A and B are shown apart, each in its own frame.
Chain A
């Protein structure tokens, strides 16, 4: 039988005992097979994401598998390639200089910084950028300490009693152009992006950890066990609840975005659609759920969608970058609006641009806008407004 001979040939290949002639035969066949085989039917976006997520293998013999900066290598490379795309576009559409002379400089705007307001259970508020490091408050046994620039921590004595009865809540809120980090009483770390908030108990009650957020928050959840069982950590935001054990994830739930996006970086989380009570989705690392923020009731909600994403782009904000991965102009402008505390006004219809690339969040607004102008969008700054012009 011919097929059995084919098997023998393959087996010889496997053992490395092919003759030269047989090797030529096998390699020739491979070319024919490659000629004839089609790519499986594929969702292009998913395939793109899969390719984008391919990282160089960790190099053996180093302490850390990948230098943090090395991760940007791939991005930086593709960004530079894309810069060329822009230039091609410019050549096609106009002969004028790539950079316009700069009226933007006249009214420049500084980037956001470490700013937040802490409201304690007793109702008093502390503007965190106005106080120095040290103990800010004591509630029962728990002290809230400003540990450094842009960070507060809730320090709980090891043997403290879990509160019985009424739980009191603290709230940390960042304004537009603000960002802050908090270490919660259970050791979970949360980073708040601009215009975001987190409401958390002064001390988590036994066997339960629940916080409420708005805006965008990145979590590194500490694992806690009680009587041999993991204590879940729940994050409520708008129409959804995220339930986790110990893991790293990002929730983007700005009310002015079309969807709440929950992205998992490590571990496992369960996302619960509160509108469709009980409808849940379990995420794997690298996946993101999307849930419409514009829903009134179960009837008009499409529920939770899952997609594969480049997680590096999702949490770049925490590392100090805007990073865009095929983002439209309106979404991009909303991000700028939050970080520079500016209103965005469109004097022109929004072209169907797609933005790919990254820029530092500590750049002045004029710098960001000038870079965006390389692609053909024009801006003007007037007071607290960014005006998108023709």
Chain B
């Protein structure tokens, strides 16, 4: 069981807002050169990207470098991020490409080449770009279930926290998992209570 308190910093107040921003809103801020938005995006995606790269390559340092490079690119090329595209898809394609770069650099490594050769012989191509993207998203977001328990809880909650109320509501309608639904409901109700509670404490 975790138990928590809150930072008393004007800064946190602004982080609170960032936390409630959707990815889309953060991207808009990012394009204006907003650093806290960048930090929030990093915080939001670092775990899942790291675990994916680590799982694929089996090397922690390489995985760390990949995450670092991805975010460096995200910042330096923030104005090139396609406007309508989902940020998750963008980052997931980017991490896939980085992993492929890494595999390409060590193409002598048997296991990758054997697997690729086998696939070329027997595998089925997924021709629709959209389906490939969905599949990639599914596979990468599955990394969450591989996270150590404590991190997973945080991540799963953050997935809900990271969306606006409207988005959460939408998520609820399509969610088939009652448990998640209850958690989300609880979050919405209690966040209101807590906001009141915390403002009593601090202000």
Do A and B belong to a common assembly? yes
A residues neighboring B (CB under 8 Å): 2-3, 5-7, 9-11, 13-14, 24-40, 44-45, 47-48, 50-51, 54-57, 59-60, 67, 69-70, 72-91, 97-99, 321, 326, 351-360, 363, 367-368, 370-372, 374-377
Q: How far is the CA of A79 from the CA of B197 in the complex (A)?
A: 16
Cross-chain contact A59 with B75 (CB below 8 angstroms): yes
Between A26, A73, A78, A352, the greatest number of chain B beta carbons within 10 A of the residue's beta carbon is seen for: A73
A-B contact count (CB 8 A): 279
Cross-chain contact B42 with A38 (CB below 8 angstroms): no
| Nearest-neighbor residue (CB-CB) of B37 within chain A | A73
A48 touching B151 in the complex, CB below 8 Å, given contacts A69-B9, A354-B2: yes
| Nearest-neighbor residue (CB-CB) of A15 within chain B | B104
Cross-chain contact A59 with B1 (CB below 8 angstroms): no
Q: How far is the CA of A170 from the CA of B39 in the complex (A)?
A: 45
A13 touching B3 in the complex, CB below 8 Å, given contacts A2-B121, A25-B120, A56-B42: no
Of residues 94 through 140 on chain B, the ones whose CB sits less than 8 Å from some CB of chain A are 96, 99-101, 103-105, 107, 112-121, 123-127, 132, 135-136, 139-140
Query: Among B80-88, B154-162, B169-177, which stretch is in contact with chain A?
Result: B154-162
> What is the minimal beta-carbon distance from B75 to any residue of chain A, in angstroms?
6
Q: How far is the CA of A376 from the CA of B121 in the complex (A)?
A: 60
24 of the cross-chain contacts (CB-CB < 8 Å) are: A9-B120, A11-B107, A26-B116, A28-B119, A29-B120, A29-B123, A30-B96, A31-B139, A34-B136, A39-B146, A55-B42, A70-B35, A74-B43, A77-B40, A77-B44, A84-B190, A84-B191, A97-B197, A353-B3, A359-B5, A360-B8, A371-B5, A374-B3, A377-B3
Residues on A with beta carbons closer than 8 Å to the beta carbon of B75: 57, 59-60
Is B76's CB within 8 Å of the partner chain A? Answer: yes
Q: How far is the CA of A133 from the CA of B19 in the complex (A)?
A: 45
> What is the minimal beta-carbon distance from B174 to any residue of chain A, in angstroms?
21
> What is the minimal beta-carbon distance from B167 to any residue of chain A, in angstroms?
16
A374 touching B197 in the complex, CB below 8 Å, given contacts A29-B116, A69-B9: yes
Q: How far is the CA of A373 from the CA of B46 in the complex (A)?
A: 31
Residues on A with beta carbons closer than 8 Å to the beta carbon of B132: 24, 27-28, 31
Specify which of B16, B72, B112, B201 is in contact with A57 (CB 8 Å cutoff): B72
Residues on A with beta carbons closer than 8 Å to the beta carbon of B15: 73, 76-77, 80
B residues neighboring A (CB under 8 Å): 1-9, 11-12, 15-16, 18-19, 35-36, 38-40, 42-44, 46-47, 50-52, 54-56, 58, 60, 64, 67-68, 71-72, 75-76, 96, 99-101, 103-105, 107, 112-121, 123-127, 132, 135-136, 139-140, 146-151, 153-154, 157-158, 161, 183, 186-187, 189-191, 193-194, 197-198, 200-201
Cross-chain contact A87 with B187 (CB below 8 angstroms): yes
Specify which of B5, B55, B71, B201 is in contact with A99 (CB 8 Å cutoff): B201
Cross-chain contact A374 with B1 (CB below 8 angstroms): no
Q: How far is the CA of A6 from the CA of B190 in the complex (A)?
A: 54
Cross-chain contact A371 with B6 (CB below 8 angstroms): yes
Q: How far is the CA of A36 from the CA of B142 in the complex (A)?
A: 13
> What is the minimal beta-carbon distance from A357 to any residue of chain B, in angstroms?
4
Cross-chain contact B39 with A29 (CB below 8 angstroms): no
Cross-chain contact B4 with A6 (CB below 8 angstroms): no
Residues on A with beta carbons closer than 8 Å to the beta carbon of B118: 2
Cross-chain contact A6 with B38 (CB below 8 angstroms): no
Specify which of A28, A40, A76 is in contact with B58 (CB 8 Å cutoff): A40
Q: How far is the CA of A72 from the CA of B8 in the complex (A)?
A: 11
Cross-chain contact A39 with B54 (CB below 8 angstroms): yes
Cross-chain contact B7 with A360 (CB below 8 angstroms): yes
Q: How far is the CA of A98 from the CA of B196 in the complex (A)?
A: 10
Residues on A with beta carbons closer than 8 Å to the beta carbon of B8: 359-360, 363
Residues on A with beta carbons closer than 8 Å to the beta carbon of B51: 39, 47, 51
Cross-chain contact B193 with A80 (CB below 8 angstroms): no
Cross-chain contact B123 with A79 (CB below 8 angstroms): no
Q: How far is the CA of A368 from the CA of B7 in the complex (A)?
A: 11
Cross-chain contact B50 with A33 (CB below 8 angstroms): no
Cross-chain contact B2 with A60 (CB below 8 angstroms): no
Cross-chain contact A51 with B43 (CB below 8 angstroms): no
> What is the minimal beta-carbon distance from B142 to any residue of chain A, in angstroms?
9
> What is the minimal beta-carbon distance from A32 to any residue of chain B, in angstroms?
6
